[in-house]
Amino acid sequence: MSVATACANIALVKYWGKRDAGLNTPAAGSLSLTLDSLRTFTQVELTDAEEDTLSLGGKPVTGRPVARITAFADLVRAMAGRKERVAVRSQNSFPTAAGLASSASAFAALAVATADAFGVALSPKELSILARRGSGSAARSIFGGFVLMHGGSASDGQDAFAEPLEGIPLTFSAAVAAARAEEKKIGSTDGMDLTRDTSPYYAAWIDCVNRDLGTAQAALREGDISRLAEIVEGNCLAMHANAMAARPGIIYFGPSTLWAIQEVRAMRAEGTPVFFTIDAGPHVVAFTPPEHLEQVAARLEGHPEVAEVITSPVGDGAHLVERMP
C-alpha cells in the first residue's frame, strides 16, 4: 500500500488548449505556483478484485472518475508488466465541490502513489509526464514553488513535462476567494476543445501564451512585481476572452468574480502589491507577498457570494507519506 500527497497549483500563465488529446499534451507551455493549503492525499492499494475502485473523501465513487483512474492505472500497469487492480482512496484538504483545482493535486498524488505501489521507479520528470496523462495541470504539481511546464513538440509527448524554476527572488502567498457555486459546469477538456474548435481568438491566444511565458519568467527573475501583475492578469483575461468567444460562449465568471477583480485592482492602486488570476470557475485567486496576505484576504471576504477565503503559502512537490491523515 502506498500513500502520497500533492498540492494544487495555480497557473500564472495558463494552459488552455491541447496538442494531442490521446497523450494529453498541451498546445503551449504554462507557468504556475504550487499552493500548500490545497492538498490531496491518495492511498493506492493493489487488489485481486475485478475492477479498480475509488473513494473520494470516504465516499465510494462510480462512473467517469473510476474510468479515468483505470485509464491512468493502465499506464502504470503497462510499465510494471503487472495486472493487479487498484483500490484508490483520496481525500482533499479543501472543498472539492467548490470546483477548486482538484485534478492537479489528485493526479500528481495518484502518479506518485501508483508508481510506488507497482514498484515502478520514476524520476521527477517521468512522474510529471505520467501525471500529465491524468490532467495537464497535474504535471506541474509534481514540483513545489514556481513551476514551468514545457509544451513540447515530440509526437510521443516525452518533451511535455514540468520542472521547477529555481532562484526566483520573489515569493507569494495566495488568497482564494472561493465562490458559492456548484461544481464547474464545463470541464477543462470540453472547454478547451470547444474553444479551439470555435473561438476566433484561439491562434492569437497561443501566441499570447508563448510571449507571456518569456516575459513572466523575466519579471520573476528581476523581482518585478508590477510587471508580473500586468502579465498574469492579462494572460488570465486573454484565456477567458478566448473561452467567452467560443460558440456557445463559455463564461466561468460568477457574481463575485468581477467584484473580486475590482477589489484586487483597487488594493493595487492603493499601493498593495497584489494581482489576480482565475481558472475554469468563478473563484478569484489573489497573489501577494506573505506580509500583505492577511489584509488582502480580509478584503476579499466582503461579498455575499464569496463562501470563504482560503489562504495559502507556497506548497512543496508531490511525495510519499506514511499514512492517510
Q: Taking CB under 6 A as the rule, which mask of x and - marks residues 189-228 in contact with ligand PMV?
A: x---------------------------------------
* By CB under 6 A, residue 137 contacts ligand PMV: yes
* Minimum distance, C-beta of residue 244 to ligand PMV, in the bound complex (Å): 13
Q: Could you say which of 7, 14, 176, 297 contacts ligand PMV (CB under 6 A)?
A: 14
* By CB under 6 A, residue 11 contacts ligand PMV: yes
Strand partners, 88: 44, 54
Sheet of 275-277, strands arranged across: 275-277, 284-288, 173-179, 306-312
Q: Taking CB under 6 A as the rule, which mask of x and - marks residues 234-273 in contact with ligand PMV?
A: ----------------------------------------
Number of chain positions touching ligand PMV (CB under 6 A)? 15
| Cα distance from N-terminal residue to C-terminal residue, the chain | 15
List the beta strands (DSSP E) in the chain: 2-13, 18-20, 25-26, 30-47, 53-56, 59-61, 85-92, 146-149, 162-164, 173-179, 275-277, 284-288, 306-312, 319-321
Which CB atom, from 117 or from 149, has the smaller least distance to ligand PMV?
149
Stretch binding ligand PMV (CB under 6 A), from 37-45, 130-138, 210-218, 304-312: 130-138
Q: Are strands 85-92 and 53-56 parallel, antiparallel or unpaired?
A: parallel
For residue 152, the SS3 value is coil
* By CB under 6 A, residue 90 contacts ligand PMV: no
- Cα–Cα distance between 278 and 261 in angstroms, integer? 9
* By CB under 6 A, residue 102 contacts ligand PMV: no
Query: Measured at the alpha carbon of residue 10, what is the angle toward residues 107 and 128, in degrees to the nearest 5?
Result: 35
Question: What residues line the site for ligand PMV (CB under 6 A)?
Answer: 11, 14-16, 30, 101, 103-104, 135-137, 188-189, 279-280
